[in-house]
Structure 1
């Protein structure tokens, strides 16, 4: 049993722990909703900032990994070949593809689970991706002392 206050008259009302839906106050006879459902049957979940940062940060982490690994591969001249399919030059592209797929996955999961914070974080991350891409290219160019004036 949980005790809540009526949103209309501020009197205490006793409800079951798993009570969800529309109820009538015994004191003022006004209707109110309780347990995550609003009047139009949509979710009234509290905006969860942790879910926002999961939706925003997880895909961008792959972009940061892509450019960080590109700098390491260039600086230490790391070369690898995995089963003749992927070599070290493909690391940046593969991590960007993984980033895009994780955006899509988090967006779909957030929409299906009605987690507004997660899918909004995913959309903000998708909108911020071009900025991260440009910053990554600039960071790579500065870190590897790369310039357009190089001659062969």
Structure 2
């Protein structure tokens, strides 16, 4: 038992040791609370206590070798295509144009080939430029290089689909006397596997630089 003084009449009151709550004084019928202050203080303290933060900040180190290597690879591949694809097309177009001029055909087919080669050359030279900017850490250049890689892959596949296959095997002939072929089966030898692999790897490389936070940190 514990003896306390009534806050109203100051008479002595006996309560149990674990008594808590509101009570009425048996002497003056005045109501008072007992044993509530400590619990309230503890509750207030628990509510006011800040919760530990779960936010985790990662500080990535600057590694220029990542962007320099990626940009150099992209620019080098673009340069390779410019030399071994665009220039031969331009030279071939000039040769055809010269033959047309000598034969006085006036078809202009050689000029069309030259313009096509110049368009390829502009595409690849632009890719070289943005590859250098990507090596310098420009994030916008990385986006452009990724778009160029997708265009290159799509162009390679479309060009293969609409091109003639010299190694195609005839699988169906007509009923004429000469038996002309009316259906061919495309050979796997005409599939531009090398180009598809190169463009796919470039897309994967650039996409990883955009998606992976540690790589993305290397660009402005």
What interval of TM-score do these two structures reach, taking the shorter chain for normalisation? Answer: 0.3 to 0.5
Structure label with greater radius of gyration: 2
More helix as a share of residues? 2
TM-score (norm 1): 0.33
Q: Whose RCO is larger (CA < 8 A, sep 6+)?
A: 1
Q: TM-score, normalised by structure 2?
A: 0.25
